Structure 1
Amino acid sequence: MRALVLNCTLKPSPEPSNTQALADEVIAALRGHGVDVEVVRLADHHIPPGIKTDMGEGDEWPRIHRILSGCRILIFATPTWMGQPSSIAKKALERMDAMMTETRDDGTPVAYSKVAGVVVTGNEDGAHHVISQISGPLVDLGFTIPGQSWTYWNMGPGPGPSYTETDHKHDWSARTGRTMAANLVAAATALEAHPLPTPG
């Protein structure tokens, strides 16, 4: 079973990413379940805005789309900025809009029987809002969102240190991330055995 993690940090490599640090907890748990995990840091790639799978010369989204098409599990990992997912996360969702009309040979939407989850970091609150803003569009595309398929970390009200600058509540976020991984694998395994039916 394969998983893709889209790290939607605004920081290109090799800058340290708080979002990646928390996503690594989930990745370790997925690998513990035998899942092959690939991470793509979107800030490292040229991804023009748009709603097509391929926006033409220089567009690096088609390669990422191919990886996504071949995985059973998708994880959006995003920081919180002003209570919102990052602009990169929103751009990725816009590019995925093309999947609305993409089908397999039997007519089944390409996102059917794939599962998805969300990882959120930010030193202020807003994580539940960000989770819902990511999960809603993924459901529209046909992804299955299992129960408790997210984890997040924040310091609470007001500005403060980032995830990697403190140990505050890391244990809760990691434990929740392990539950997230187990639930994603369980749902993906069930859907592999019993896929969603072709619409109509």
Structure 2
Amino acid sequence: MRALVLNCTLKPSPESSNTERLAQVAVDELIKLGVDVEMIRVVDRAIAPGVETDMGQGDEWPPIHQRLLESEILVIATPTWLGHPSSVAQRVLERMDAMLAETADDGRPVAYNRVAGVVVTGNEDGAHHVISEVAGGLVDIGYTVPGQAWAYWNAGPGPGPSYSETEHGHEWSHKSARTMAHNLHGAAVALGGSALPPPPS
């Protein structure tokens, strides 16, 4: 089983990413469950704006799209900015919109029988709103989002320390990330044994 984590931080490598650090807790748990996990920092790639799988010369989305098709599990990890997912996360969802028109040989949308979860960090509140926005988009595309398939950390309302600058709330956030990993894995196993049928014609 394979999992893809798309880290939608605004910070290019090699800057430290709070979002990546929390996502790594879920990654470590998935690895313990025998899942082969790849994490991509999307901001390091030249991802063109648009809603097609390939926007032409210089667009580095197509290899990520291929990784999506090779993975049973997807995690989108994003910081919170002004109470919303990062612009990188929004671009990822916009590019994934093309999957709505893509079908497998058996007629199923390509996102069917794949599961997805969300990781959110930010020193401001609004994580539940961000989770809802991202998860809602993933459901529209065809992914199955199991119960409690999310993990988040924030410092509460107003400015404050970042995830890496404090231990506040880490125990709860890490437990949520481990729970997310188990629920994603369990749902992926279940769909592997009893797949969703193609939609009615």
Normalising by the smaller structure, the TM-score range is over 0.9
Residue number in structure 2 paired with 1:196? 196
Identity value in percent: 64
1:157 shift after superposition: 1.1
Distance 2:43 2:94 in 1: 15
Distance 2:108 2:9 in 1: 32
Residue equivalent to 1:44? 44
One-letter amino acid of the structure 2 residue matched with residue 107 of structure 1:
G
1:138-183 per-position Cα deviation (integer Å, ceiling 9, x unaligned): 1011100000000000011111000000000101000111100000
**1:152 match:** 152
Give the residue type in structure 2 aligned to 1:43.
Answer: V
- 2:182 is paired with a residue of what secondary structure? helix
Is 1:68 the counterpart of 2:64? The answer is: no
Deviation at 1:194, TM superposition (A): 0.5
1:15 maps to 15
Aligned position for 2:184: 184
- Ranges in structure 2 where 5+ consecutive residues have no aligned partner: none
Query: Structure 1 CA distance, aligned partners of 2:176 and 2:199?
Result: 34
Q: Does 1:77 align with 2:81?
A: no
Aligned residue number for residue 125 of structure 1: 125
State the Cα RMSD in Å.
0.4
Deviation per CA, 1:14-42: give whole Å up to 9, x if none.
Answer: 00000000001000010010000000100
Instruction: Indicate the SS of the match to 1:137.
Output: helix
Q: What is the match of residue 164 of structure 1?
A: 164
For the residues of structure 1 that align with 2:196 and 2:10, how far apart are their CA atoms?
A: 35
The SS at the match of 2:5 is: strand
Q: TM-score, normalised by structure 2?
A: 0.99
> What is the number of equivalent residue pairs in this alignment?
200
Task: Indicate whether 1:175 and 2:175 are aligned.
Answer: yes
Distance 2:67 2:170 in 1: 30
Aligned-partner residue type, residue 154 of structure 2: N
Cα distance in 2, alignment partners of residues 133 and 90 from structure 1 = 9
Corresponding residue for residue 142 of structure 1: 142
Q: Secondary structure at the match of 1:105?
A: coil
**Shift >4 Å, 4+ stretches:** none
Paired position in structure 1 for 2:103: 103
TM-score of the two chains, using structure 1 as the length reference: 0.99
